Homo-oligomer: A and B are copies of this chain.
């Protein structure tokens, strides 16, 4: 490497470029960054303090502002707009295995009674599981079955299709598709076809 190259390497970027760098770094950072942290990331000779000041001025009055937190800096929502974020207060939780299996069985076998779900899963279905799926608006009650006891059946809802990005329940892949997509263990073998036929559960 020649001296000329070295010199160029150590040329600091233009002020406007340094401002862009600080903007990108603070945006992507998972926690507030100190001047020192910024300097470590930026090309040698940069002046993060000056860049920060110009950047802070640019964001004055905007929807987000550059805020100093102790010795560090971070973007924060403008305080007067905090109300917009409040609806975000949602806790994300994964469905239990029992719930997701029950949902899958309803999706594939609808309309299906609780006894049938239990038969397929091989264990009892707790009331809470179906209640949860119903309160999520993924499952609803269908017609009663015209058989002794007239049991209620369960079917999936449009909200279910929406959530799982399906155009219709008919688009659910069949067992063969599952196997081909590698989702079904191969040793399931030929005996595992559902009684109603392979691909076309709803046809």
| Residues of A that sit less than 8 Å from B by CB | 19-25, 27-29, 40-42, 61-64, 75, 77-78, 81, 84-85, 87-88, 114, 125-132, 134, 140-144, 149-152, 157, 165-168, 170-174, 176-177, 179-183, 186, 199-200, 202-203
Contact = CB atoms under 8 A, between A and B. Distances in A.
A27 B64 contact: yes
B167 A20 contact: no
A41 B84 contact: yes
A27 B63 contact: yes
B25 A130 contact: no
B150 A199 contact: yes
Nearest to A133: B181
A98 to B, nearest CB: 12
Given A20-B78, A150-B170, 13 more contacts: A24-B81, A24-B84, A27-B27, A27-B64, A114-B177, A114-B180, A127-B186, A140-B165, A141-B166, A141-B172, A144-B170, A152-B174, A176-B202
Nearest to A180: B114
A144 B172 CA distance: 8
A152 B177 contact: yes
Nearest to A126: B182
Contact of A63 (B22, B88, B152): B22
A21 B182 contact: no
Contacts of A125: 180
Contact of A183 (B22, B131, B181): B131
Nearest to A132: B182
A129 to B, nearest CB: 7
A12 to B, nearest CB: 14
A85 to B, nearest CB: 5
Interface centre among A42, A87, A128, A131 (most CB of B within 10 A): A131
Contact of A150 (B128, B143, B165, B200): B200
A181 B134 contact: yes
